[in-house]
Chains A and B, each alone.
Chain A
Amino acid sequence: MDILVILIPASLFLGAVGLLAFFWAVRSKQFDDPEGDRHRILSSDWDDEPRP
């Protein structure tokens, strides 16, 4: 059962990383325009250079 000492903190840590990633995504407004983003990912407009 000693393995729990590693496994439980590890799983909590990974979960927390996911949670923080979600926080970041919400705060950086990535859910503001799901409809547009769905199309944007396929557009080739700024493939050669980043958007100014």
Chain B
Amino acid sequence: MTAAMRPATSACPACSAAPSAEALARMNEPVKPARIMLSLPTAHCAACISAVERRLLQYPGVSEARVNLSLKRVSIEAIPEITAEDMIRELDAIGYEAHELDAGILAATATDKRGRDLLMRLAVAGFSLMNVMLLSVAIWAGAADATRDLFHWISALIALPTIVFSAQPFFKNAWSALSVRHLNMDVPISLAIILAAGLSLFETIQGGEAAYFDAALSLTFFLLAGRYLDHRTRAVARSAAEELSALEVPRAIKIVDGKQQTVPIGEVCVGDLVLVKPGARMPVDGVVSEGQSEIDRSLLTGETLPVFAGPGTEVSAGEVNLTGPLTLRVTAAGGDSSLHRMADLVAIAESSKNRYTSLADRAAQIYAPGVHLLAFLAFGGWLMATGDFRLALNVAVAVLIITCPCALGLAVPAVTTAASGRLFKKGMLIKNATALERLAEVDSVVFDKTGTLTAGMPELSNLEAHDAETLRVAFALAEASAHPLALALASAARSAGIEPARVTELREIPGYGVRGHWQGRDVRLGRAAWLGAEAGPETATWLQIGAAPPVEFTFNDHLRDGAEEAVARLIAQGISVYLMSGDAEPAVASLASRLKIDTFQAEMLPEQKSDFVKRLSDGGVKVLMVGDGLNDTAALTAAYVSISPATALEATRVASDIVFLGSDLTPLGETLATAQKARSRIRENFGIAVLYNMIAVPIALSGFATPLAAALAMSASSITVSLNALRLR
């Protein structure tokens, strides 16, 4: 139809131009830009912003690049042909380290809706509070009769809509608690706000003297401030934790018709062929169908000794391929992989987190019924004594307002905000809301070995046992491989000032070792089984020169920085320290003696680890578990509180309450000290709140409380607890 309407040649030039314009428009139609998110850990200044943005905007196809310095991220909009790798290379050229972030995971945090919502309510409450306070000052100063009534009415007009809008979070929480027949801190809060506003309205209508609109609003304002602080602390921790997950962009290299394709892990199915390059992590469970290599299982089992993998070997997701490329036939992907089976084990381990009641909740359980009882008694008492219903109600509301947990609502969030901020600076990320309180009660610490106390990097331990000749040959062979043991051997030889021998025909045999030719003899460096040697208990590699018997190079696991200090400090604090590992006995024993840990257990299975922690917990011990492996995950969950390093797999990090971001363990001892200090600050704050109540409640009960007194008591106690909390910084 359109073809019929469009003559091929036309008298009107515009008509003939139209189709081509249409085609042109289709061609120029902006391709939906793709969003790339990169993390920029080293960006820190104004020059960084300009340099990064300018460089990226110059790249053809990039339409928008914006650095967020607070989050140390850059978000890029570009045509779909541009990949994150291009951008990372571009930034690397000007000296910025960048890592790809999974935009899908981060999208959830980009718009922090709840936080913004709370901030809006807080702003409205603040606005109304200031206006009503101004009017109240006039009333306290002695405005009377018609002026007072007018001011009361204006206050009511401002206060009532504000309370309906701003105090909603409290009403909702209180309602959900009441609907399951439970009392929380929000019940007395909501009751005080509603009663104060209701009574004030009643008094205003009656032309009475006292109205508590300002008190109702300042309650709302201070408590919302506490809520907001609390939310901020958690949002910061959550976004940092999400960033860690977003750094692991889950991709696999799938082989389709002999060609390699990079696809998201979700698109890999059972039976597919997947290529795993040396140095990469297995994305799925599978059976090796082609290639030979060695694999590092330490994250799954805790053993440091690399294992041989050849056709037919079963591998699990999370293991690291060390030397040669491997082609896997997928046996389980996604939810069925062993990674996720481990998650089931975690679900079985009963979580102590759910059993813990926070200090604030415990305080609320005593506090809420007490306050209501007191207000009710005041009402009853005054009604009986004077028979004046209105007076009795006034006194009861004054009691409710003055005892309202304004300071209590701020006492905990203010302290946890200050403490988490301090720990965040040290690289400790508090993920769980009650983790700090639980940490303060810890009296024993269980460490995992591989990857937690050790850095997961081997270190040559018997350099002196070999003569110069052997070392020179070993050095030359080791230089030809990227295997971790070979790298460690080479770096040890280099720092000892050894010159490599002239070894020719160097060849790496993936999964076995390196071979070459030296002074007319065959030389080989590699696995014990390959050289016909008897493998010892320690992590080792073997060297054979010609037909001579093979000699052994043994390795220790390199200690993580600060591990010694951290353990020493914990022991000095009187905390019992245990070491549990899936690794072989000698390695664990030598580490334990080096760190002066008396109790250790080796060759433990994941279930045994969590049983051990459970046994300790059942004996009334509050256990802090520090571990990084998947085999620790169940134990991390079973422990009273748990810490894992950022290098752990995501499943492990999710199971733990605290993640430490740096590579140094030193802050561990300080973290415990800070947690204990935070707990005592919370207790002090509760003490301050109780003290205020002890002074103010008798005044309120005796009927002397004026709106001015209520406003003063409330503000003073809120400010005192906030200042006390700030002493932690």
Q: Which residues of A contact B150 (CB under 8 A)?
A: 4
Q: Which residue of chain A has its CB nearest to the CB of B110? A: A32
B127 touches A19 (CB 8 A): yes
B127 touches A18 (CB 8 A): yes
A23 touches B123 (CB 8 A): yes
Q: In this complex, which of A11, A12, A27, A39 has the most chain B Cβ atoms within 10 angstroms of its Cβ?
A: A39
Q: Which residues of A contact B154 (CB under 8 A)?
A: 8
**Number of A positions contacting B (CB below 8 A):** 24
CB distance from B59 to the nearest CB of A (A): 14
Q: Which residues of A contact B50 (CB under 8 A)?
A: 43, 45
Q: Which residue of chain A has its CB nearest to the CB of B126? A: A19
| B363 within 8 Å of A (CB atoms) | no
Q: Which 10 A-B pairs have the closest CB atoms?
A: A36-B69, A39-B46, A35-B70, A35-B69, A33-B68, A19-B127, A33-B70, A45-B50, A43-B46, A22-B123
| B45 within 8 Å of A (CB atoms) | yes
B54 touches A26 (CB 8 A): no
Q: A12-B131, A12-B158, A19-B127 are in contact. List 6 more A-B contacts (CB 8 A).
A: A1-B147, A11-B134, A15-B127, A18-B127, A42-B46, A45-B54
How far is A35 from B134 in the complex, measured between Cα atoms in Å?
Answer: 35
Q: Which residues of B contact A26 (CB under 8 A)?
A: 116, 119-120, 123
A interface residues, Cβ below 8 angstroms from B: 1, 4, 8, 11-12, 15-16, 18-19, 22-23, 26-27, 32-36, 39-40, 42-43, 45, 52
B123 touches A36 (CB 8 A): no
| B49 within 8 Å of A (CB atoms) | yes
B556-584 with Cβ < 8 A to chain A? none
Q: Which residue of chain B has its CB nearest to the CB of A41? A: B46
How far is A42 from B53 in the complex, measured between Cα atoms in Å?
Answer: 15
Q: Write 26 A-B pairs (CB below 8 A) sorted by A numbering.
A: A11-B134, A12-B131, A12-B158, A15-B127, A15-B130, A15-B131, A19-B123, A19-B127, A23-B120, A26-B119, A26-B120, A32-B70, A33-B68, A33-B71, A36-B49, A36-B67, A36-B69, A36-B70, A39-B49, A40-B49, A43-B46, A43-B49, A43-B50, A45-B50, A45-B53, A52-B57
| B124 within 8 Å of A (CB atoms) | yes
Q: Which residue of chain B has its CB nearest to the CB of A52? A: B57
If A11-B131, A18-B127 touch, whether A39 touches B69 (CB-CB below 8 Å) is yes
B179-199 with Cβ < 8 A to chain A? none
How far is A19 from B127 in the complex, measured between Cα atoms in Å?
Answer: 7
Is chain A's binding surface mostly helix, strand, loop or mixed? helix
State which of B67, B70, B127 has its C-beta within 8 Å of the C-beta of A16. Answer: B127
How far is A16 from B147 in the complex, measured between Cα atoms in Å?
Answer: 23
Q: Which residues of A contact B127 (CB under 8 A)?
A: 15-16, 18-19
Q: Which residues of A contact B53 (CB under 8 A)?
A: 45
Q: Which residues of A contact B124 (CB under 8 A)?
A: 19
How far is A47 from B68 in the complex, measured between Cα atoms in Å?
Answer: 20
B107-146 with Cβ < 8 A to chain A? 116, 119-120, 123-124, 127, 130-131, 134
How far is A8 from B158 in the complex, measured between Cα atoms in Å?
Answer: 12
Q: Which residues of B contact A33 (CB under 8 A)?
A: 68-71
B interface residues, Cβ below 8 angstroms from A: 45-46, 49-50, 53-54, 57, 67-71, 116, 119-120, 123-124, 127, 130-131, 134, 147, 150, 154, 158
How far is A12 from B131 in the complex, measured between Cα atoms in Å?
Answer: 7
Q: Which residues of A contact B71 (CB under 8 A)?
A: 33
How far is A43 from B154 in the complex, measured between Cα atoms in Å?
Answer: 47
Q: Which residues of B contact A27 (CB under 8 A)?
A: 116
How far is A52 from B65 in the complex, measured between Cα atoms in Å?
Answer: 11
Q: Which residue of chain A has its CB nearest to the CB of B131? A: A15
CB distance from B160 to the nearest CB of A (A): 15
Q: In this complex, which of B45, B49, B54, B134 has the most chain A Cβ atoms within 10 angstroms of its Cβ?
A: B49
Q: Which residues of B contact A34 (CB under 8 A)?
A: 70
How far is A36 from B119 in the complex, measured between Cα atoms in Å?
Answer: 21
How far is A1 from B145 in the complex, measured between Cα atoms in Å?
Answer: 13
A39 touches B123 (CB 8 A): no
CB distance from B101 to the nearest CB of A (A): 16
Q: Which residues of B contact A1 (CB under 8 A)?
A: 147
CB distance from B603 to the nearest CB of A (A): 48
How far is A27 from B117 in the complex, measured between Cα atoms in Å?
Answer: 10
A40 touches B131 (CB 8 A): no
How far is A32 from B119 in the complex, measured between Cα atoms in Å?
Answer: 13
Q: Which residues of B contact A43 (CB under 8 A)?
A: 46, 49-50
A40 touches B68 (CB 8 A): no
Q: Which residue of chain A has its CB nearest to the CB of B146? A: A1
How far is A34 from B71 in the complex, measured between Cα atoms in Å?
Answer: 10
How far is A52 from B62 in the complex, measured between Cα atoms in Å?
Answer: 12
Q: Which residues of B contact A22 (CB under 8 A)?
A: 123
Q: Which residue of chain A has its CB nearest to the CB of B46? A: A39
How far is A40 from B668 in the complex, measured between Cα atoms in Å?
Answer: 36
Q: Which residues of A contact B131 (CB under 8 A)?
A: 11-12, 15
Q: Which residue of chain B has its CB nearest to the CB of A36? A: B69
